[in-house]
Amino acid sequence: MTEPFIKCAGVTKAFGSTIAVDHTDLQLDRGTILALLGPSGCGKTTLLRLIAGFERVDEGTIELGGRLLSSPRNSLPPEKRRVGLVFQDYALFPHLNVEANVAFGVPRGVDKKARIAEMLELVGLGRLGKRMPHELSGGQQQRVALARTLAAEPDLVLLDEPFSNLDPSLRTRVRNDVWRILRECNQTAIVVTHDQEEAFGLPGLVGVMLDGRILQVGTAPELYLRPADRRVAEFIGDANFIRGDKQGSAAACALGTIPVTGEREGAVDLMVRPEDIRLDPDAPLQAEVVRTEYYGHDQVVFLRLPDGEIVRVRVLQGASYAPGEVYGLRLAGEAIAYPVEA
């Protein structure tokens, strides 16, 4: 069994009484691109800075390619880690043109002119080498910053909220360009983001970080369909939680007796995604429309069950649902059982 290329074990970092990273673990194979997803303040940027060497760990270890980067007693300086960091604001040198910015990342002993040309061609800026940073769009500046980082031939590239400064109209296109470049280089990378759509659009893995810990790492479908715990389920997408009584592979709840997965037995909280509930005129369970939220491509209908509980149902746009109307409901798929939340 091969060792993971990146290995964080029990990594902890506190600032005074605030624990930013709390005994978190992470293992990635070479060539993997990971989107580290979490809300502001969850510790994801601090973890990036620990890997890059800009902060020192209080506990735990960080290894890269079999080399120890960080422990409480030993810490390699950033310039010896072979880790490249693309900053949120790009951090280009404003007084240097594009070629000179990229040249800054080229290591000694490498044909600088050839390396610059290769990197600019890779990021699609081969004709803009003489431009100054202020003459470039935000997306072009982003690609220059990435070219400068890749020019140093790092073992690992870290990107901290790399698309947050871009206009929404540019974000998707630049994001796809960056993903393509990283994959063409077979580059190992960790991308920090608070945007679920951005993380799920990544051609790799997604790690969910909450309260200083990485709770689950997997593909986007794995995280959405099989969340490791309730906190991940609540953070990823939209979810209904309904109290139920689970016996084996079924549970009795306000939606009736429904199929369910999960190891818990007895009293449980059942997660049901809004798109897994269907409006069906032939279903025996009747629910009353409370209100709707319209999103263009679809809409969410809030319905009151006979016991008074409100559930959300996601349906395609087109039909309208007026408060007071009654519809039959049925579950398509399975619910997931979690421990009852106090």
pLDDT digits (tens, 9 = 90+) for 73-124: 999 999 999 999 988 788 899 999 999 999 988 988 889 999 999 999 988 8
| Per-residue pLDDT at 269 | 95
Three-state DSSP string of the chain = CCCCCEEEEEEEEEECCEEEEEEEEEEECCCCEEEEECCCCCCHHHHHHHHHCCCCCCEEEEEECCEEEECCCCECCHHHCCEEEECCCCCCCCCCCHHHHHHCCCCCCCCHHHHHHHHHHHCCCCCCCCCCHHHCCHHHHHHHHHHHHHHCCCCEEEEECCCCCCCHHHHHHHHHHHHHHHHHCCCCEEEEECCHHHHHCCCCEEEEEECCEEEEEECHHHHHHCCCCHHHHHHCCCCEEEEEEEECCEEEECCEEEEEECCCCEEEEEEECHHHEEECCCCCEEEEEEEEEECCCEEEEEEECCCCCEEEEEEECCCCCCCCCEEEEEECCCEEEEECCC
Same fold, 6-233 and 240-339: no
CATH fold of 240-339, please? Answer: OB fold (Dihydrolipoamide Acetyltransferase, E2P) (2.40.50)
d(CA 156, CA 141): 21
Give the pTM. 0.90
**Domain positions in the chain:** 6-233, 240-339
| Per-residue pLDDT at 169 | 76
Q: Tell me the pLDDT of the chain averaged across its residues.
A: 92
Task: Give Cα separations from 53 to 3, 62, 75, 177 (angstroms).
Answer: 22, 10, 7, 28
CATH class of 6-233: alpha beta
Write out pLDDT tens, residues 176-222: 888 888 888 899 999 999 999 889 988 889 999 999 999 999 999 99
Given a cut of 70, the residues of the chain with pLDDT beneath it are: 1, 342
